[in-house]
Structure 1
Amino acid sequence: MCNKTFIKFKISKIHFSRLCFLAILLFNLTIKAQKVYIVPYENQADIKVFVEQYANNADLKVYKVEYSNQAGNNDGKWFFTEYENQAEKKIFFTNYANQADIKIFYVEYSNQAEWNDASKKKFFE
């Protein structure tokens, strides 16, 4: 009897470990990129970005955070990395709006960061 209980406990412990591993793996896959690196050439970029002069013309209102741990979860809080390998997405700033995948507008306060066009969120997934 005691032996069966031990076996059930051991099996459930193994399943729990696998479940935790799977949960961590899925969590990491669903994180949306907000750590960005600016590349010098368009062909190196994951996303082409244009900076708008007016918030209502932008797809995304972006707030620049000071530290990487403040970067958002696809909500417009961006941290600009110093090195390419620290970034989750590489961006290139275009000179014209029609060349860009998304148009952004920089906001002054973090609570102003948000998507105006949620259909463009896919670029940061």
Structure 2
Amino acid sequence: MATHAVTSKDFNQIVESNDLVFVDFWATWCGPCRAFGPTFEKASEANSDIYFAKVDIDQNPDLASAAKVQAVPTLMVIKNQQIVFQQAGALRASDLDDLIAQAKALDVNAAAAEEAEAQAE
């Protein structure tokens, strides 16, 4: 299994020790979560260079609250310890693959510099 069950206790350590982390916030009672699970698992098996985390919101409500998760499933992408994407709703496999490619290509420092420059104007 290429995905990892993550809890509030180990979340920060995982984010700090991996350059790129995809987090699936989910719940056992959520139909769309169960539908998205195999898509997320398949993507994790195809991208061993990315840490794929699954956070059960019922087991980790404090983490879900801190991440401002309002609906499940919610997908969060963290690159170099910065949240670069967060969206509720299940993605199709092709959309997840596209997001993975974008996340890998993203230069977080350049994006932050561009955003700071735009806000200064």
The TM-score with structure 2 as length reference comes to: 0.31
TM-score scaled to structure 1, two decimals? 0.30
Q: Which one has the largest radius of gyration?
A: 1
